[in-house]
Amino acid sequence: MGNETNSKTRIFELLSESGSVLSGEKISRELGISRVSVWKHIQKMIKAGIEISSSAKGYQLQPDPDSLQPLQFGGWQELIHHFSETGSTMNEAAILARQGCPDFTVVLAERQNQGRGRLQRLWTSADGGLYFTVVVRPEITLNAAGLLNLAAAVDMAEVLKTGYRIAARLKWPNDILVEDKKICGLLSQMEIEGGQIAHVNIGIGLNVNNQPEIDEPGSVSMQRLLGRHVGRRDVLISFLERFRHRLNDFDEAVLIDQWKANNSTIGRRVQIATVKESIEGTAVDLDQHGGLILEQTDGSRVTAVHGDCFYN
Ligand code: BTN
């Protein structure tokens, strides 16, 4: 950590620990720097979006559970790359990943002006939503890597269920729905080098305090479901902790079972559309690679490996 970042981190820690007003003099003594330097650091922190009030008595941190500023992320801080606005966090993450960024680097944006959905669709990314891409470098087989998207969806659904009592269900391949309305979408990009996984970038768009229903009537946000503003940072940290824990000891069979236990697709009549074709049938199972097995009207079975899934 550089001196500048170090001082800001220390100031942030002191203000958080104190929980009340802290004088500039006390901070300057603790850090061994002048009061003017303290003031300058605090001005930069305020400019970066951290809410610190100042008065004649000193400085006070305003608790803001919605802030996505890296300084607010505790042990995750150095892995967080924050953008007020960018085209797509997928593009920023791809650059960092190719430059060799560490495992679990997270790129997040308050807004995206070219947010990407699956199948070349646009992902509307207005203020208030949680838009991020996490770069992972797991030591798993290529086969298992193809399941990471499902794994991230299972973990995010679990965060919504256990942390917020939201009845989240998984829709094949990578959506999270609540009462058949979309609350979260995921997409991933994998790069392979010499037959090994170089990195997998998993992009997640979660409707938190945004109003997705304006553009997409079939969608819903956490705020609408809970009737209150939701702090995005806790949601993100809970997800990251869960996902990191899973990847430390990735078990494909456990994942498939968890997906099956929490999905809303199996048992329904569905249509799976790809750029080339469209198939219909009743979803009957998920195979070990994450493919959806459909039973067609003549009793034959086909496995869909990708595509858009519509409930009939
Ligand atoms: C889908 O359901 O179509 C997938 C949507 C994925 C959206 C997220 S938002 C963060 C990341 N950056 C992007 O441009 N897309 C993903």
Q: What is the pTM of this model?
A: 0.88
CA 237 to chain centre: 9
Residue nearest atom 3 of ligand 1, based on CA coordinates: 117
CA of 46 to the centre of ligand 1 (A): 29
CA of 112 to the centre of ligand 1 (A): 10
Query: What is the distance between the alpha carbons of residues 125 and 123, in angstroms, rounded to a whole number?
Result: 6
- Residues contacting 265, CB < 8 A, separation 6+: 170, 171, 172, 283, 292, 309, 311
Ligand 1 atom nearest residue 116's Cα: 14
Dump pLDDT digits (tens) for 54-76: 999 999 988 788 889 898 898 99
3-state secondary structure of 57: coil
**Among 192, 199, 175, 190, residue whose Cα is nearest residue 265:** 175
CA of 115 to the centre of ligand 1 (A): 6
Ligand 1 atom nearest residue 132's Cα: 10
Residue nearest atom 9 of ligand 1, based on CA coordinates: 205
At 13 the pLDDT is: 86
**Regions of the chain short of the pLDDT cut 70:** 1-2
Q: Which residues line ligand 1 (CB under 6 A)?
A: 88-90, 112, 115-118, 121, 123, 131-133, 175, 185-187, 203-205
CA of 256 to the centre of ligand 1 (A): 23
Contact 130, 204 (CB under 8 A): yes
Ligand 1 atom nearest residue 175's Cα: 2
At 20 the pLDDT is: 83
SS (H, E, C) 75-136: HHHHHEEEEEEECCHHHHHHHHHHCCCCCCEEEEEEEECCCECHHHCECCECCCCEEEEEEE
Ligand 1 atom nearest residue 90's Cα: 12
Dump pLDDT digits (tens) for 70-127: 988 989 999 999 999 999 999 999 999 999 999 999 999 999 999 999 888 899 999 9
Q: What is the side-by-side order of every strand in the sheet holding 292-295?
A: 301-304, 292-295, 278-286, 269-273, 308-311
**Among 125, 234, 141, 135, residue whose Cα is nearest residue 184:** 125
CA of 133 to the centre of ligand 1 (A): 8
